[in-house]
Amino acid sequence: MSGRRNTAANLLLRQYRELTDPKKAIPSFHIELEDDSNIFVWNIGVMVLNEDSIYHGGFFKAQMRFPEDFPFSPPQFRFTPAIYHPNVYRDGRLCISILHQSGDPMTDEPDAETWSPVQTVESVLISIVSLLEDPNISSPANVDAAVDYRKNPDQYKQRVKSEVDRSKQDLPPGFVMPTSESAYISNTSKKEDTEESKDIADNFWYDSDLDDDENAEGLQDDSFDYDDEDVYNYQGTYGNDDEDNIEFEDDDESMDNDSVMDRKQPHKAEEESEDLEEVEKIGKK
């Protein structure tokens, strides 16, 4: 496997894992690999959770193919089978700006709307669902669908409804269709997260008060007892104990303020985007 293909495969594998992680996945999509040994071909079930949409309740099968120089070139997206939509060709190919290579002189699409290496599979999929609900009839791929959408809305809705009903036959065995209420983080989950954060803060101040009392009684134990839940996912670094014991002499007017600041500089988080690192590696090759 070439270096560029290998880098693209690693990037796709990372995004695939995120999009299929139950805690991070977008509920509007059911994603599987066409072949477990080929990360460049994804089978995707597209669902519209908006109950007011005429596409609501459908499970539209599609396939996404990625080039070996991804993310420098956009993937291809095709509905299988094709759906009746102004921006879907009769062979199922989707016409959407975000999947068009930027800088194409044959189109008048602004570069801000076309493909760029900073785009991700997630951003593409979200754009596709948005296009399903809000077609671009000014540049249709299926003229008949665009005409029906504009001039014969009832006929268009009836055609889409029949395709929604047919698509339900493609639901994977045992798959439960998500709803707008159950798909995303519920208010209960948010409340639990808020209460957990509050508990961590309360524990911090409670422990601090205990330390003050212990110091007042001449105790030397400076340790903190944390529960696993209190430090879950904590990736920072604790400061050195030596820094906490630094003594400053009030009468020493020769003390250099800059040197004090240097000694008390906080650690900076060294978080960089892994995706950008992968893109830079490809660019250097």
The whole-number pLDDT of residue 85 equals 97
Active site (catalytic) residues? 95
Nearest to 71 by CA among 115, 38, 33: 115
The whole-number pLDDT of residue 82 equals 96
Q: Total domain count for the chain?
A: 1
- As a whole number of angstroms, the distance between CA 43 and CA 49 comes to 19
DSSP structure class, residue 231: G
Q: Is residue 262, in this structure, part of any structural domain at all?
A: no
Q: Is residue 241, in this structure, part of any structural domain at all?
A: no
3-state secondary structure of 115: strand
Is there a contact between 29 and 125 (Cβ–Cβ < 8 Å)?
Answer: yes
Q: Is residue 145, in this structure, part of any structural domain at all?
A: yes
Give, for all 285 residues of the chain, the pLDDT tens digit: 678 899 999 999 999 999 999 888 889 999 999 999 999 999 999 999 999 999 999 999 999 999 999 999 999 999 999 999 999 999 999 999 999 988 776 677 777 889 999 999 999 999 999 999 999 999 899 999 999 999 999 999 999 999 999 999 999 999 999 887 765 443 334 444 444 444 444 454 444 444 545 444 443 444 334 344 443 343 444 344 444 444 444 444 444 444 434 444 444 444 445 554 554 554 454
The tokens of 235 are what?
């990736």
Q: Is residue 198, in this structure, part of any structural domain at all?
A: no
The whole-number pLDDT of residue 122 equals 96
The whole-number pLDDT of residue 112 equals 82
Q: Report CA-CA distances (Å) from 13 to 41, 61, 249.
A: 11, 21, 56
Q: Is residue 78, in this structure, part of any structural domain at all?
A: yes
Q: How many C-beta atoms surround the C-beta of residue 218 within 10 A?
A: 6
The whole-number pLDDT of residue 232 equals 37
33 phi, psi to nearest 5 deg: -85, 140
C-alpha dihedral over 200, 204, 209, 211, to 10 degrees?
Answer: 130
Q: Is residue 245, in this structure, part of any structural domain at all?
A: no
Burial code (b: 16+ CB inside 10 Å, e: under 16) for 36-49 equals eeebbebbbbbbbb
Q: Is residue 285, in this structure, part of any structural domain at all?
A: no
Is there a contact between 82 and 89 (Cβ–Cβ < 8 Å)?
Answer: yes
The whole-number pLDDT of residue 179 equals 82
CATH number at 28 reads 3.10.110.10
Q: What range does the domain containing 97 cover?
A: 1-172
The neighbouring-strand residues paired with 96 are: none
Q: Is residue 222, in this structure, part of any structural domain at all?
A: no
Is there a contact between 47 and 179 (Cβ–Cβ < 8 Å)?
Answer: no
Is there a contact between 66 and 4 (Cβ–Cβ < 8 Å)?
Answer: no
